[in-house]
Protein backbone atom coordinates (compact mmCIF):
# COMPACT_ATOMS: atom_id res chain seq x y z
CA UNK A 1 0.00 0.00 0.00
CA UNK A 2 1.33 3.43 -0.93
CA UNK A 3 1.42 5.89 1.95
CA UNK A 4 2.72 8.93 0.06
CA UNK A 5 -0.34 10.93 1.14
CA UNK A 6 0.15 10.26 4.87
CA UNK A 7 2.05 13.57 5.48
CA UNK A 8 -0.88 15.48 3.94
CA UNK A 9 -3.30 13.64 6.22
CA UNK A 10 -1.12 14.48 9.20
CA UNK A 11 -1.07 18.19 8.29
CA UNK A 12 -4.83 18.25 7.92
CA UNK A 13 -5.29 16.47 11.25
CA UNK A 14 -2.88 18.87 12.98
CA UNK A 15 -4.82 21.81 11.54
CA UNK A 16 -8.14 20.27 12.64
CA UNK A 17 -6.76 19.64 16.11
CA UNK A 18 -5.56 23.24 16.44
CA UNK A 19 -8.87 24.57 15.11
CA UNK A 20 -10.90 22.54 17.58
CA UNK A 21 -8.78 23.62 20.52
CA UNK A 22 -8.69 27.31 19.58
CA UNK A 23 -12.40 27.35 18.71
CA UNK A 24 -13.28 26.05 22.13
CA UNK A 25 -11.15 28.81 23.61
CA UNK A 26 -9.68 26.39 26.09
CA UNK A 27 -6.07 26.21 24.98
CA UNK A 28 -4.42 27.46 28.19
CA UNK A 29 -6.85 26.04 30.72
CA UNK A 30 -6.77 22.70 32.47
CA UNK A 31 -9.83 21.59 30.55
CA UNK A 32 -8.15 22.72 27.33
CA UNK A 33 -5.13 20.56 28.09
CA UNK A 34 -7.37 17.57 28.80
CA UNK A 35 -9.18 18.11 25.49
CA UNK A 36 -5.87 18.57 23.69
CA UNK A 37 -4.47 15.35 25.16
CA UNK A 38 -7.64 13.43 24.30
CA UNK A 39 -7.59 14.69 20.70
CA UNK A 40 -3.91 13.79 20.33
CA UNK A 41 -4.50 10.35 21.82
CA UNK A 42 -7.48 9.73 19.53
CA UNK A 43 -5.49 10.74 16.45
CA UNK A 44 -2.51 8.65 17.53
CA UNK A 45 -4.67 5.54 18.08
CA UNK A 46 -6.89 5.99 15.03
CA UNK A 47 -6.89 3.01 12.67
CA UNK A 48 -5.94 4.82 9.45
CA UNK A 49 -5.02 1.58 7.66
CA UNK A 50 -8.35 0.02 8.57
CA UNK A 51 -10.29 3.07 7.44
CA UNK A 52 -8.37 3.31 4.15
CA UNK A 53 -8.94 -0.41 3.55
CA UNK A 54 -12.67 -0.07 4.24
CA UNK A 55 -12.99 2.89 1.87
CA UNK A 56 -10.95 1.12 -0.81
CA UNK A 57 -13.16 -1.95 -0.44
CA UNK A 58 -16.30 0.17 -0.84
CA UNK A 59 -14.91 1.85 -3.97
CA UNK A 60 -13.85 -1.48 -5.49
CA UNK A 61 -17.30 -2.92 -4.80
CA UNK A 62 -18.95 0.12 -6.40
CA UNK A 63 -16.73 -0.12 -9.48
CA UNK A 64 -17.42 -3.83 -9.95
CA UNK A 65 -21.12 -3.22 -9.49
CA UNK A 66 -21.07 -0.39 -12.06
CA UNK A 67 -19.12 -2.55 -14.53
CA UNK A 68 -21.71 -5.29 -14.42
CA UNK A 69 -24.73 -2.99 -14.26
CA UNK A 70 -23.74 -0.35 -16.80
CA UNK A 71 -20.49 -1.35 -18.56
CA UNK A 72 -19.03 -4.18 -20.63
CA UNK A 73 -19.86 -6.70 -17.93
CA UNK A 74 -23.56 -6.05 -18.52
CA UNK A 75 -23.13 -6.82 -22.23
CA UNK A 76 -21.35 -10.09 -21.40
CA UNK A 77 -24.11 -11.13 -19.00
CA UNK A 78 -26.81 -10.15 -21.49
CA UNK A 79 -25.10 -12.18 -24.23
CA UNK A 80 -24.74 -15.21 -21.95
CA UNK A 81 -28.36 -15.03 -20.81
CA UNK A 82 -29.52 -14.62 -24.41
CA UNK A 83 -27.60 -17.77 -25.42
CA UNK A 84 -29.26 -19.75 -22.63
CA UNK A 85 -32.71 -18.43 -23.48
CA UNK A 86 -32.20 -19.08 -27.18
CA UNK A 87 -31.13 -22.63 -26.38
CA UNK A 88 -34.05 -23.25 -24.04
CA UNK A 89 -36.66 -21.94 -26.43
CA UNK A 90 -35.13 -23.43 -29.56
CA UNK A 91 -34.24 -26.76 -27.90
CA UNK A 92 -30.65 -26.40 -29.08
CA UNK A 93 -27.59 -27.52 -27.09
CA UNK A 94 -25.89 -24.64 -25.25
CA UNK A 95 -22.53 -25.17 -26.99
CA UNK A 96 -24.05 -24.86 -30.48
CA UNK A 97 -23.49 -21.40 -31.92
CA UNK A 98 -25.25 -19.65 -34.73
CA UNK A 99 -24.07 -16.09 -34.33
CA UNK A 100 -25.19 -15.62 -30.69
The residue extents of the domains of the chain are: 1-46, 56-100
Please give the model's pTM, rounded to 2 decimal places. 0.49
SS3 state at 98: coil
In whole angstroms, give the CA distance from residue 41 to residue 52. Answer: 19
Q: What residues contact 32, with CB distance under 8 A and at least 6 apart? A: 21, 24, 25, 26
Consecutive 10-residue averages of pLDDT for the chain (100 residues): 55 73 63 81 91 94 95 93 90 60
What per-residue confidence (pLDDT) applies to 90?
A: 84
Name the DSSP class of 34. H
Residue 19 three-state SS = helix
Amino acid sequence: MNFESVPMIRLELDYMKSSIISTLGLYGSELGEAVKERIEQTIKNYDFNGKVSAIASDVITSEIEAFFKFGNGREYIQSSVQKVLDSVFANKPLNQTDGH
